[in-house]
Amino acid sequence: MPKRKRKPKSTAASDVSGEDIVVLRETVPLQLRYYGDPVLRKRAEPVAEITDSERQLAEQMLMTLYATGNGIGLAATQVGVLKRLIIVDIGEEDDEEYEPLVLFNPELLSSDGEIVAEEGCLSIPDVTADVKRPESIVVEGVNLQCEAIRIEADGLLARVLQHEIDHLNGVLFIDRISGLKRRLLSEELTRIQQAEKPY
Ligand code: NI
């Protein structure tokens, strides 16, 4: 999910301050998959074990996210890997600095309230829409150190977590808007679908 209504983030991969996240120098950004790519509609498989290959994938995904300049979250599905892994880095919100988050097998445990906010998606460039989602959520998953963690989130963090978990189930934010609104976006969606290399 890209950042909206904010200044683009210029964090270089080498500036990642998450204690346990080391972006390898040889890591290169992965190719993003775009709307129309069938992989985006597939359900990702649970990660049974976190090995070096999963750790490297997480690092490459962070690198890919930072390379977009305005990304705040990415699911493995979006780089064509059908593993249940999401990464989130919302940076700063309400004067609070958030560490990058790597989450394997994320599960939405509970949700509360309802709120509408604008969303976009790195796989659907230049398309945004208002999406209604639960306002606060509890998510469980496993971090890079193989520890089970529980996150209670609201605001932007809750939104991006839900958006990225949707990706692991083959769901896109445009599935969560009305048919009428989606028809209004159909020209843009067709453009992305037909472009050989949107970016
Ligand atoms: Ni997305």
Higher pLDDT, 8 or 166: 166
| HEC assignment per residue over the chain | CECCCCCCCCCCHHHCCCCCCCCCCCCCCCCCCCCCCHHHHCCCECCCCCCHHHHHHHHHHHHHHHHHCCECEEEHHHHCCCECEEEECCCEECCEECCCEEEEEEEEEEEECCEEEEEEECCEEEEEEEEEECCEEEEEEECCCCCEEEEEECHHHHHHHHHHHHHHCCCCHHHHCCHHHHHHCHHHHHHHHHCCCCC
**Burial zone of 170 (CB within 10 Å; 0-12 exposed, 13-18 middle, 19+ buried):** middle
Report the distance separating Cα 51 and Cα 55, nearest Å.
6
pLDDT at 89 over 80: yes
pLDDT at 142 over 50: yes
Q: Choose the catalytic residue: 54, 59, 119, 164.
A: 164
User: How confident is the model over 35-84, as pLDDT tens digits?
Assistant: 999 999 999 999 999 999 999 999 999 999 999 999 999 999 999 999 99
Question: 164 catalytic, yes or no?
Answer: yes
Q: How far is the CA of 122 from the centre of ligand 1 (A)?
A: 5
Report the distance separating Cα 148 and Cα 146, nearest Å.
7
Q: How far is the CA of 173 from the centre of ligand 1 (A)?
A: 7
pLDDT at 10 over 90: no
The pLDDT of residue 177 is: 95
Q: Which whole number is the average pLDDT over 146-155?
A: 96
The pLDDT of residue 199 is: 55
User: How confident is the model over 91-128, as pLDDT tens digits?
Assistant: 887 777 888 999 999 999 999 999 999 999 999 999 99
Q: How far is the CA of 123 from the centre of ligand 1 (A)?
A: 6
Domain 13-194 annotated CATH 1.10.760.10: no
Average pLDDT, the chain: 89
Res. 21 pLDDT band, cuts 50 70 90: low
The pLDDT of residue 15 is: 46
The pLDDT of residue 22 is: 55
Q: Would residue 198 be called left, alpha or beta, if left means φ above 0 and alpha means ψ between -120 and 50 degrees?
A: alpha
Least confident of 21-30, 82-91, 186-195: 21-30
Q: Which whole number is the average pLDDT over 156-184?
A: 95
Q: Which whole number is the average pLDDT over 133-148?
A: 97
Break the chain into its structural domains and give their ranges. Answer: 13-194
**pTM listed for this prediction:** 0.86
Res. 8 pLDDT band, cuts 50 70 90: very low
Report the distance separating Cα 102 and Cα 61, nearest Å.
10
Q: How far is the CA of 40 from the centre of ligand 1 (A)?
A: 10
Report the distance separating Cα 199 and Cα 110, nearest Å.
36
Tell me how long the chain is.
199
% of the chain residues with pLDDT over 70: 86
